[in-house]
A and B are shown apart, each in its own frame.
Chain A
């Protein structure tokens, strides 16, 4: 889970998406194919080449009002075509903390 903040060169090793945080409340969001943002991972635009990833990131970063801190993150495509987070960091961002917290119910199991 090397911090994406330390991404220096954009090289992807598999299917990837662009994710960010929503500006007004910091919620996790994903760049869609229709140049918008969604809080649902399965609506994220998936890229498979480094050039496409760069282009999607550049477009996301330019949308500075709605989103902040955009970066490229890996995903896994399951056998039935479902999009899942590609590492623990993104799993935590999508699903929440892995620990029990007061008032917000049971923790996510990892």
Chain B
């Protein structure tokens, strides 16, 4: 957990006061909607189908139990008793009243939470690996650098009015859990041949109408040069990025139109003029940021405690343990993924009661810390293995122990037409039906790792382009239809999926997905060949034939 200092607290409190005044002037009519819209977007306030939506930042997906309880309080007091965790590690409340927002923000500010720059044409939440700081084999904690970037980009005077939104992601493990290749700037911490730690810098990743996987423009940048190099990239973007067409304004379009070599050369030229200036990061600055992160005082614990050995007799516990519990860098501890994908439930939602209870569990079993993953699940990052049985019982009572992590019913879905004013079709009911179709745990395990991503429109907030199976809602003559893609992936081998055929109707989607999965089971070379690898080996044609043979 990053501990706020006085500057952080003052910044957030001043922002709350400023927004309170802006809301007051909007409600009195002193500000028109045209004048107010940009201000509310800069504070994460959207207008959706039914109500305002309030997007709260959870920097790099790290929360304290105190913060989670405060989010529960906001859900309960100002909303309808639940919140939705998003694909950018934020949380959204769907029913907030504009008149209540200043008080909600003030309540959040007391625990060091804000909503600055969660919307608008500025730099958004810097996201990272939800296992940061605890993943085995991690180069170093990427949250240190995420925090440095967060501070650098917050209210940056040069980059507060970019051509379009701008998103960073940082990863520091061989297996990427941050989807860094589909971000405007993706940063991969690694060691060079000299053993020095630095960043591979990718630019121009992104989904939406024109999806691109990011391109490496610099294989290695030292940590001390991170901010100056990032500033060089953003200056080139700010200068050359299009502002005449919002669909062509992201940096990915600029990289594509200039070509990656030309873009990289422009950045290099800019950077060489500033690399040794004020943005060069002193070691002391980095260490100061690092010192503000909390790391537990781990005990020396055995890998296989008696409590775990005994509990292994319980098949239900074992099903959860083998699915949702992951190795930790410290012996005797585990990382626990808390599934927010119950059968028939909206993916990524948690009630206020669940949030409160999970905060208590975090205090008891995880040194008071919770993480939010971009796949819309939560994690408890510091669980002693001897506590796993008791933790599981508690999670199970809360409906938070569905053993489907990384399986077919661990679906990522945007809010879709049930909530979102941009959507063309619903996404949540599709996800709900699919979780019902694939509810059988044995079947899901037989299928193996399979990521389904659902977006209700081309803006791709559900990341459908990079789903092993991607589902995109479209509208045809007033009816909901869905395009199906397969073969995408969001990890270190990121790839865009391929369309398998014409869009299918709302009522047919679940049947189609079952056909796709059945085709995979029939075609895979071995039981442990993943779906996405079978698609890569065979292409989409065998799946297309199966799905469209009778349609």
Name A residues whose Cβ lies closer than 8 Å to a Cβ of B.
Answer: 1-5, 21, 23-28, 64-65, 68-69, 87-89, 92-93, 96-104
- Once the chains bind, are B32 and A102 in contact (CB under 8 Å)? no
B419-459 CB contacts (< 8 Å) to partner A: 419, 421-426, 428-429, 432, 457
- Once the chains bind, are A23 and B51 in contact (CB under 8 Å)? no
- Once the chains bind, are A68 and B33 in contact (CB under 8 Å)? yes
Task: Report the separation of the CA atoms of residues A87 and B476 in the bound assembly, to the nearest whole angstrom.
Answer: 12
With CB as the reference atom, state the residue of chain A lying closest to B46. Answer: A26
- Once the chains bind, are A103 and B424 in contact (CB under 8 Å)? no
- Once the chains bind, are A99 and B99 in contact (CB under 8 Å)? no
Which residues of A lie under 8 Å from residue B49 when comparing CB positions?
28, 89, 92-93
A-B contact pairs, 27 of them (CB 8 A): A1-B425, A1-B480, A3-B422, A5-B421, A21-B52, A23-B26, A23-B27, A25-B51, A25-B52, A25-B98, A25-B99, A26-B48, A26-B52, A28-B50, A64-B32, A65-B28, A69-B421, A88-B417, A89-B49, A92-B417, A97-B50, A97-B428, A98-B418, A99-B346, A99-B428, A100-B344, A104-B81
- Once the chains bind, are A2 and B424 in contact (CB under 8 Å)? yes
B468-484 CB contacts (< 8 Å) to partner A: 475, 478, 480
Beyond A68-B33, A102-B81, 20 additional pairs, beta carbon < 8 A:
A3-B422, A5-B422, A25-B51, A26-B47, A26-B51, A64-B29, A64-B33, A65-B29, A69-B421, A88-B417, A92-B49, A93-B50, A97-B428, A98-B429, A99-B346, A99-B432, A101-B80, A102-B351, A103-B81, A103-B351
With CB as the reference atom, state the residue of chain B lying closest to A5. Answer: B421
B340-389 CB contacts (< 8 Å) to partner A: 344, 346, 351
Which residues of A lie under 8 Å from residue B80 when comparing CB positions?
101, 103-104
Which residues of A lie under 8 Å from residue B99 when comparing CB positions?
24-25
Which residues of B lie under 8 Å from residue A102 when comparing CB positions?
81-82, 351
- Once the chains bind, are A92 and B27 in contact (CB under 8 Å)? no
Task: Report the separation of the CA atoms of residues A4 and B478 in the bound assembly, to the nearest whole angstrom.
Answer: 13
| B165 to A: closest C-beta gap in Å | 16
Across chains A and B, the number of contacting residue pairs, with CB separation under 8 Å, is 95
Task: Report the separation of the CA atoms of residues A26 and B97 in the bound assembly, to the nearest whole angstrom.
Answer: 6
Knowing A21-B47, A23-B26, A68-B33 are in contact, say whether A3-B424 is a contact too (CB < 8 A): yes
- Once the chains bind, are B417 and A1 in contact (CB under 8 Å)? yes
With CB as the reference atom, state the residue of chain A lying closest to B49. Answer: A93
Which residues of B lie under 8 Å from residue A89 when comparing CB positions?
49, 417
Which residues of A lie under 8 Å from residue B417 when comparing CB positions?
1, 88-89, 92
With CB as the reference atom, state the residue of chain B lying closest to A87. Answer: B478
Task: Report the separation of the CA atoms of residues A24 and B99 in the bound assembly, to the nearest whole angstrom.
Answer: 5
- Once the chains bind, are B426 and A27 in contact (CB under 8 Å)? no
| A36 to B: closest C-beta gap in Å | 16
Which residues of B lie under 8 Å from residue A104 when comparing CB positions?
80-81
Name B residues whose Cβ lies closer than 8 Å to a Cβ of A.
Answer: 26-29, 32-33, 47-52, 80-82, 95-99, 344, 346, 351, 417-419, 421-426, 428-429, 432, 457, 475, 478, 480
- Once the chains bind, are A26 and B98 in contact (CB under 8 Å)? yes
Task: Report the separation of the CA atoms of residues A27 and B50 in the bound assembly, to the nearest whole angstrom.
Answer: 6
Which residues of B lie under 8 Å from residue A21 when comparing CB positions?
47, 51-52
- Once the chains bind, are B418 and A92 in contact (CB under 8 Å)? yes
Which residues of B lie under 8 Å from residue A101 when comparing CB positions?
80, 82, 346
Which residues of B lie under 8 Å from residue A2 when comparing CB positions?
424, 475
Knowing A88-B478, A96-B50 are in contact, say whether A24-B98 is a contact too (CB < 8 A): yes
| A22 to B: closest C-beta gap in Å | 9
4 nearest A-B residue pairs (beta carbon): A26-B51, A25-B97, A65-B29, A26-B52
Knowing A1-B475, A21-B47, A28-B50 are in contact, say whether A99-B33 is a contact too (CB < 8 A): no
Task: Report the separation of the CA atoms of residues A88 and B421 in the bound assembly, to the nearest whole angstrom.
Answer: 12
Task: Report the separation of the CA atoms of residues A93 and B29 in the bound assembly, to the nearest whole angstrom.
Answer: 25
Task: Report the separation of the CA atoms of residues A89 and B456 in the bound assembly, to the nearest whole angstrom.
Answer: 12
Task: Report the separation of the CA atoms of residues A92 and B475 in the bound assembly, to the nearest whole angstrom.
Answer: 15
Task: Report the separation of the CA atoms of residues A30 and B549 in the bound assembly, to the nearest whole angstrom.
Answer: 47
Task: Report the separation of the CA atoms of residues A23 and B37 in the bound assembly, to the nearest whole angstrom.
Answer: 12
Which residues of B lie under 8 Å from residue A96 when comparing CB positions?
50
| B480 to A: closest C-beta gap in Å | 7
Which residues of B lie under 8 Å from residue A88 when comparing CB positions?
417, 478, 480
